[in-house]
Amino acid sequence: MDNRFKEKDHHLFIKKITESINHGPVITISREAGCSANKIAEMLVSSINENYYFNSDDKWNWINRAIIAESAKELNLPPHKIKYIFDSEKKGIIDDVISALASRYYKSDMQIKKAIFKLIELYAIKGNIIIVGRGGVSLTNHIKKSLHIKLQAPLNWRINKISEKHKISFDIAKKYVTEMDKKRIQLINNFMGRKADNSIFDIIFNCKTMKQIEIVETIIKLAEIKKLISK
């Protein structure tokens, strides 16, 4: 298929989602490898639900890998069949043709992206959700009631964290961190349809210099200021 048509379809779907500015509230957390976003999300959900008023159906929640599982379920695919999208791996035309001929599970990249976009949009419509990674910032950036966080830290600090956590050598950890950082940047760029920069985030935290509780308390204060939560 002509790349111009692929790009046109991509921009139409981005436009459809970003038109829905009244969805939310949504908080997204993007991170560099070695920065613990899941723990931050857990602490945020716990603190918000404990200290702010919501009906039982409106409790805050957080998601990350569930996006892969739910997107796969909607497409009737095994999760590994769409994981490559999140890993920012590109299939060539020959790969695409072979997959289509050889697998009853075949779905095009655009079909998979449509399912992912739709799922993110459904979460955004429901609101009271924290999306960790998975390109969430790309698809919710224009929602008025949203807050976009990035966690980062110096490279060597992050490599050491990964090395300690997984009990692997510094060199292996460095390779992992470098590859993961690259994939996460590519994922955001692919979902946005352009090269993104740090201006898509509302605030960036240095995980080396700030404790997790300090990051959580600051995010909650910002969420109050932006009227995503209230007592």
Residue extents of the structural domains in the chain: 3-67+126-225
Residue 81 has what pLDDT?
60
Burial class (CB in 10 A: 0-12, 13-18, 19+), 53: exposed
Q: pTM here?
A: 0.77
Domain formed by 3-67+126-225, architecture: 3-Layer(aba) Sandwich (3.40)
Residue 114 has what pLDDT?
74
Q: Which of 50-59, 153-162, 194-203 has the highest mean pLDDT?
A: 153-162
**Per-residue pLDDT reduced to its tens digit, 210-229:** 999 999 999 999 999 999 99
Residue 83 has what pLDDT?
56
**Per-residue pLDDT reduced to its tens digit, 56-111:** 568 899 988 766 667 667 767 666 666 555 554 454 443 443 343 334 444 566 77
> Rg of the chain's alpha carbons, rounded to an integer?
18
Kindly indicate the confidence band of residue 119, based on its pLDDT and cuts at 50, 70 and 90.
confident
Give 145's contacts (C-beta < 8 A, 6+ positions apart).
22, 23, 24, 25, 26, 127, 226, 227, 228
Q: What's the mean pLDDT when you consider all of the chain?
A: 79
Q: Which of 40-44, 66-70, 76-80, 139-143 has the highest mean pLDDT?
A: 40-44
